[in-house]
Amino acid sequence: MFSGSIPALVTPFRDGAFDAPAFAQLVDWQVKEGTSALVPCGTTGESPTLSFDEHYRVIDCCIEAAAGRVPVIAGCGSNDTATAIRHMRHAQASGADAALIVAPYYNRPSQAGMIAHFKALADASDLPIVVYNVPSRTSCDISAETMCEIAAIPTIVAVKDATGDMARVTIHRAGAGHDFCQLSGNDDLWLPHAVMGGVGCISVTANVAPRLCADFAAACAAGDWARALTLHDRLFDLHKAMFSDTSPGPVKYALSRVHDWFSPEVRLPIIEASAASRALVDAALSTAGVI
């Protein structure tokens, strides 16, 4: 259902407020550069700091700016099942194509609780669901066996896998079927994930280098592994630099270097990228040929 280079979009702020004009410009630039889908209100979009009204305004702005040119996968996850359902209902009413649902964080549900959570979401809405498994942030892992079980739910169509466990691509393919869409959640592991059978990446780096990431995705899809490796090497320092400080500080700084209309402003408890991080970002942008 989804494939290619899919940025986990940052949420631009200016003077403490959501900068809707900058966000619309970002979305338009992304589409024109070859991005294949968009994810507003993910972790990179600082969703934990957004009020409900802001969260929904960001989703609505993304859908409006995308104007049907690419799918919108709206971030709707929460560690409260009822809140995730509320987010999904708004996203569906606004015209989103799918919902990105992170594993319930902090609560640390059992595998049975995880299954019950996703079944409740599917029962409450027929919006397609992309499951996001990122144990380093949530402190809980959706096991491969659980993933294969919830993949049998008709509206659960994809996974964003940020476990770093490449074996899961094969396990998921065997247990969930070849039609189950597997997306990498780690830019630096996008290449091995693709070799194992993944079809794309929900990417941080694609925020700032959308054309390069789209070209890389196209090379992987074509099985042109030599070109994919060349592009991977060109992007690798940028992948690392995006996490040289707490995300999304570095990627917002990078975007401010590429576009004069973009502010590096973040919201507490995140702070702007440190001087050391900015130096790494600048060097990586130069190596990648972005600036």
Is 160 among the catalytic positions? yes
The CA-based dihedral angle spanning residues 129, 235, 282, 207, taken in that order and rounded to the nearest 10 degrees? -20
The answer to whether 77 touches 84, Cβ cutoff 8 Å, is yes
Q: Are 71 and 79 in contact (CB under 8 A)?
A: no
267: three-class secondary structure by DSSP: coil
Contact 9, 38 (CB under 8 A): yes
How far CA 73 is from CA of 14, 134, 204, 252, in Å, comes to: 24, 17, 15, 21
Distance CA 99, CA 227 (A): 32
Burial of 36 (0-12, 13-18, 19+ CB in 10 A): buried
Task: Give the closest residue to 208 by CA, choosing from 157, 274, 262, 135.
Answer: 262
Give me the catalytic one of 132, 240, 252, 253: 132
Q: Are residues 202 and 243 in contact, defined by beta-carbon separation less than 8 angstroms?
A: no
d(CA 118, CA 101): 9
Amino acid, single-letter form, for residue 68: G
- Residue among 160, 240, 252, 253 flagged as catalytic: 160
Q: Which residues pair with 38 in a beta bridge?
A: 72
What does the radius of gyration of the chain's CA atoms come to, in whole angstroms?
18
Query: Could you give the CA distance from residue 48 to residue 157 in angstroms, rounded to a whole number?
Result: 25
- 106 part of the active site: no
Residue in this structure with the two tokens 């009413």, named with its chain if needed: 93
- In angstroms, rounded to a whole number, what is the distance separating the alpha carbons of residues 173 and 169? 6
User: Looking at the annotation, which residues are catalytic?
Assistant: 132, 160
